[in-house]
Amino acid sequence: MNCICCNGIAKRRGFYRNKNFNVQRFECLKCGTSFSEKQPLDNLRVDFKAARQVLNMLTEGMGIRATSRLTGLHQQTVLNVLARAGSKAGRFLDATVRNVQPESVQADEMFCFVGCKERKNKHNNPFLGNQFPTSSASAR
């Protein structure tokens, strides 16, 4: 194992028990820095099976409150799992996907309400109401 600070050689220096598993601690022989091995969700103290279940439910379209009720986790914990998994996925994509030059991008079913629904848009403001992607962006 190499040190995270000076890239020197590190030796094992005990472990601590996490909720999920034992985490190995290391100490650098060069600079004396103490650190632990990487954990799947960056020190989030949630059972890994529960975190995986939360992510499966959220990717299938279930809401935050329903996921919280079914897993028995607090809503903020569900949001923390989502944020950690999203940041790890973003870092992974940034590190691995490079120099992609797509010929076209398809953006189906992009629709939203801005400010109000179309029937409540009394002044016909084009920036309020139903919003769809522009035809030039979807045609490319």
CA dist 11 and 82 (Å) reads 34
H or E element at residue 69: helix 64-71
Going from the N-terminus, what domains does the chain have, and what CATH number goes with each? 1-39 (2.20.25)
Extended beta strands in the chain, E state = 10-17, 22-28, 34-36, 112-114, 129-131
What's residue 134's pLDDT? 63
Exposed, middle or buried by CB within 10 Å (0-12, 13-18, 19+), for 65? exposed
- Candidate from 55-64, 94-103, 128-137 with smallest mean pLDDT: 128-137
CA dist 50 and 42 (Å) reads 15
Buried b (16+ CB within 10 A) or exposed e, 106-134: eeeeeeeeeeeeeeebeeeeeebbeeeee
Contact present, 3 and 10 (Cβ < 8 Å): yes
What's residue 54's pLDDT? 95
Q: What is the mean pLDDT of residues 111-117?
A: 77
Percentage of the chain exceeding pLDDT 90: 28
- pLDDT-based confidence at residue 105 (cuts at 50, 70, 90): confident
Residue-wise pLDDT tens digits, 115-136:
888 888 888 888 888 777 665 4
Q: What is the mean pLDDT of residues 52-79?
A: 94
Q: Which of the two residues, 138 and 87, has the higher pLDDT score?
A: 87
Q: Which residues contact 35 (CB under 8 A, 6 or more apart)?
A: 3, 4, 10, 25, 26, 28
Residue-wise pLDDT tens digits, 15-35:
877 666 777 888 888 888 888
Q: Is the pTM of this model over 0.75?
A: no
